[in-house]
């Protein structure tokens, strides 16, 4: 197979949802269809049970397990599918944002009873920033839920994307009878059997009397009415608009009952994009280029303090990756060889000799060589963009409690930040270090890991901040004037960029209106 053939058959994506909508269940069913697993229940849930939220060691254990399921690769027909798993717990949302930089498309799972929830909304914002193509799966149709038209309206409004149903439910909850597949024209009848794919009634057109036989006259005429309305209201499915991230096809089903999942998968492999060109700072890199390049989007640390080692996850952007070939680690300028890169096929990790664009390889790293965002190439000095940091939600001063160990603390903080555990800002006024996170759990993780992996002790001190904004201006004087006025609230991020720490939304709004020549950004990529 040529490199182009390998690229064309790859589908690299993530499934995202608000916790509990059914991401794990859907992932597992997709693996069942791919023949990657044979029984339901084989995928260890990466979801953190609600009861365990205060017990983050338990969460880390689960995250440890989840290394194996971080990437699930399998063949489906002629396609090679790579599903990138994302943490279910919202305190690790930053991990999910970064994973989204390594996918070519996403499937969003929405609970039919709950509709669009907070986490879904935020993740969709990240997809929108990158114009990532999105397919939506409305799940749990076997339960009582909302009217599907209401759900479509809500998806459009809340996720700010045009939608187009490609399947349609026949009733819902206890009366749920099946799904009409608009894309392929056929009805799948629902049998609430948790392990079996149900029966399909092929029909020629909507007047086919077999519909009435299958679901009864009342539901058949409701279906015809609904579809009339859909055809009238929603434009034809436009694949180009989907590829540009402007239109989301919507499927209905029940992941738990393996219902509507195959339809989703079959349509997905057909319409979802294969790896596309990626922008580096220097130029656009096409996947078909002969020379290998890729970037680190995730670093997974080993929680065992006796073996301080990590796995760096590299997304291949171009060319062919080969084991034991020397590659340039652009940031350090060093040439590195990887003797045991791993590929992830379903649940197994195995040493891989070759990998292609769209694939993810895991590179064991015991020396802390890798940082999130690092680029590997065959010699060219490329820097991949698109790994933004977002303004954290919570901030605390980090203080050293053991003066003898300040070096260890420095090193620990630096390495944990390189791994992307949280963000560090250094206040320029008093030199104090501020750690910003998206959730309380990360503070606990950091404190524990600093102690157990670096022998450094720290404590947290409160600081009341609303947002961290990266600031810039074309007018150097205006920038300086701002920094002088706000000197107590000016910090630099890890890369030395100016960050304004606003302590309230009012202060931020005032700053924006007082300094019109400044631009305030809520993510580090602008």
CB of 9 to ligand G4P, least distance (A): 27
Largest CA distance in the chain: 83
Residue 178 engages ligand G4P in binding (rule: CB under 6 A): no
If the CB atoms of residues 61 and 487 are measured against ligand G4P, the closer one turns out to be: 61
Nearer residue to ligand G4P within complex by CB, 17 or 427: 17
294 counts as binding ligand G4P under rule CB under 6 A? no
Answer for the pair 86, 79: CB distance below 8 angstroms, yes or no. no
Q: To the nearest 10°, the Cα dihedral for 238, 243, 245, 246?
A: -20
* Residue 112 is a binding residue for ligand G4P (CB under 6 A): no
Q: Select from 44, 47, 146, 385 the one that contacts ligand G4P (CB under 6 A).
A: 47
The only residue of 3, 19, 128, 208 in contact with ligand G4P, by rule CB under 6 A: 19
50-89: contacts with ligand G4P (CB under 6 A): 88
Q: Which stretch binds ligand G4P (CB under 6 A): 13-21, 74-82, 220-228, 337-345?
A: 13-21
Shortest Cβ 303–ligand G4P spacing (Å): 22
Footprint of ligand G4P on 421-460 (CB under 6 A) = none
Check residue 95 for interaction with ligand G4P (CB under 6 A): no
17 is a contact residue toward ligand G4P (CB under 6 A):
yes
Based on the shown chain and the rule CB under 6 A, indicate whether residue 120 belongs to the binding site for ligand G4P: no
Among the listed residues 60, 91, 94, 142, the single contact to ligand G4P using CB under 6 A: 142
Residue nearer to ligand G4P on the CB measure, 136 or 310: 136
Residue 25 in contact with ligand G4P, rule: CB under 6 A: yes
Q: How far is the CB of 271 from ligand G4P (least distance, A)?
A: 23
Please name which of 312, 184, 168, 332 lies closest in space to residue 234, comparing C-alpha atoms: 168
Q: 133 φ, ψ to 5°? A: -65, 140
Q: Which of 32, 123, 136, 255 binds ligand G4P (CB under 6 A)?
A: 255
Cβ proximity to ligand G4P, 69 vs 391, nearer residue:
69
Does 364 bind ligand G4P (CB under 6 A)? Our answer is no
22 touches ligand G4P by CB under 6 A: yes
Please count the residues of the chain.
526
- Per CB under 6 A, 45 contacts ligand G4P: yes
Report d(CA 510, CA 158) in Å as an integer: 28
> How does strand 162-165 pair with strand 247-252?
parallel
Q: Examine residue 119 and tell whether it contacts ligand G4P (CB under 6 A).
A: no
- Rg of the chain's alpha carbons, rounded to an integer? 25
Footprint on residues 473-512 left by ligand G4P (CB under 6 A): none
Residue 404: C-alpha distances to residues 159, 289, 407, 459 (Å): 51, 52, 8, 15
Q: Which residues contact 77 (CB under 8 A, 6 or more apart)?
A: 269
CB 181 within 8 A of CB 187: yes
Residue from 9, 10, 11, 23 that binds ligand G4P (CB under 6 A)?
A: 23
Q: What is the rounded CA–CA span in Å between residue 203 and residue 205?
A: 6
Rounded to an integer, what distance in angstroms lies between the CA atom of residue 48 and that of residue 346? Answer: 21
CA distance 280 to 374: 12
Determine contact, residues 125/241, Cβ cutoff 8 Å: no
Size of the residue set binding ligand G4P (CB under 6 A): 19
CA pair distance 356, 69, nearest whole angstrom: 20
State the residues that interact with ligand G4P by CB under 6 A: 17, 19-25, 45, 47, 88, 139-140, 142-143, 254-257
């Amino acid at each position: 197979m040529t490199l182009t053939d390998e690229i064309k058959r790859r589908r690299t994506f993530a499934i995202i949802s608000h916790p509990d909508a059914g991401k794990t269940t859907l992932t597992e069913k997709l693996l069942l269809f791919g023949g990657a697993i044979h029984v339901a229940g084989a995928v260890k849930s990466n979801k953190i049970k609600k009861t365990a939220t205060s017990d983050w060691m338990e969460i880390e254990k689960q995250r440890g397990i989840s290394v194996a399921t971080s990437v699930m690769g399998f063949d489906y027909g002629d396609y090679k599918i790579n599903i990138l798993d994302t943490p279910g717990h919202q305190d690790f949302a930053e991990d999910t944002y970064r994973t989204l930089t390594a996918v070519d498309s996403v499937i969003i799972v929405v609970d039919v009873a709950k509709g669009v929830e907070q986490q879904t909304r935020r993740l969709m914002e990240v997809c929108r920033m990158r114009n990532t193509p999105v397919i939506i799966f409305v799940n749990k149709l076997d339960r009582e839920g909302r009217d599907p038209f209401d759900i479509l309206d809500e998806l459009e409004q809340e996720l700010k994307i045009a939608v187009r149903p490609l399947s349609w439910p026949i009733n819902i909850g206890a009366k749920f009878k099946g799904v009409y597949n608009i894309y392929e024209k056929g009805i799948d009848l629902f049998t609430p059997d948790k392990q079996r794919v149900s029966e399909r009634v092929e029909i020629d057109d909507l007047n086919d009397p077999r519909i009435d036989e299958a679901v009864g006259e009342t539901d058949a005429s409701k279906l015809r009415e609904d579809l009339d309305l859909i055809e009238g209201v929603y434009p034809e499915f436009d694949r180009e608009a989907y590829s540009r991230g402007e239109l989301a096809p919507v499927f209905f089903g029940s992941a738990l009952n393996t219902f509507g999942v195959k339809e989703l998968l079959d349509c997905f492999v057909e319409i979802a994009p294969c790896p596309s060109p990626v922008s580096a700072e220097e130029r656009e890199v096409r996947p078909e280029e002969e020379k290998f390049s890729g970037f680190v989007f995730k670093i997974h640390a080993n929680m065992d303090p006796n073996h301080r080692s990590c796995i760096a996850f590299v997304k291949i952007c171009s060319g062919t990756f080969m084991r034991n070939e020397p590659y340039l680690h652009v940031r350090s300028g060093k040439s590195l060889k990887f003797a045991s890169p791993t590929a992830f096929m379903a649940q197994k990790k195995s040493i891989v000799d070759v990998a292609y664009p769209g694939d993810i390889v895991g590179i064991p790293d015991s020396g802390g060589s890798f940082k999130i965002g690092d680029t590997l190439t065959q010699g060219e000095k490329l820097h991949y963009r698109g790994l933004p940091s977002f303004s954290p939600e919570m901030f605390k001063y980090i203080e050293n409690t053991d003066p003898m160990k300040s070096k260890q603390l420095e090193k620990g903080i630096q390495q944990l930040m390189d791994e992307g555990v949280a963000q560090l800002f250094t206040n320029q006024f008093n030199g104090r270090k501020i750690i910003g996170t998206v959730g309380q759990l990360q503070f606990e993780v950091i404190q524990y890991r600093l102690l157990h992996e670096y022998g450094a002790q720290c404590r947290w001190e409160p600081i009341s901040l609303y947002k961290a904004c990266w600031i810039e201006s074309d007018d150097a004087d205006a920038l300086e004037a701002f920094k002088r006025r706000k000197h107590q609230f000016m910090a630099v991020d890890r890369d030395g960029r100016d960050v304004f720490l606003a302590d309230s939304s009012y202060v931020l709004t005032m700053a924006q209106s007082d300094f019109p020549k400044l631009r305030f950004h809520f993510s580090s990529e602008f």
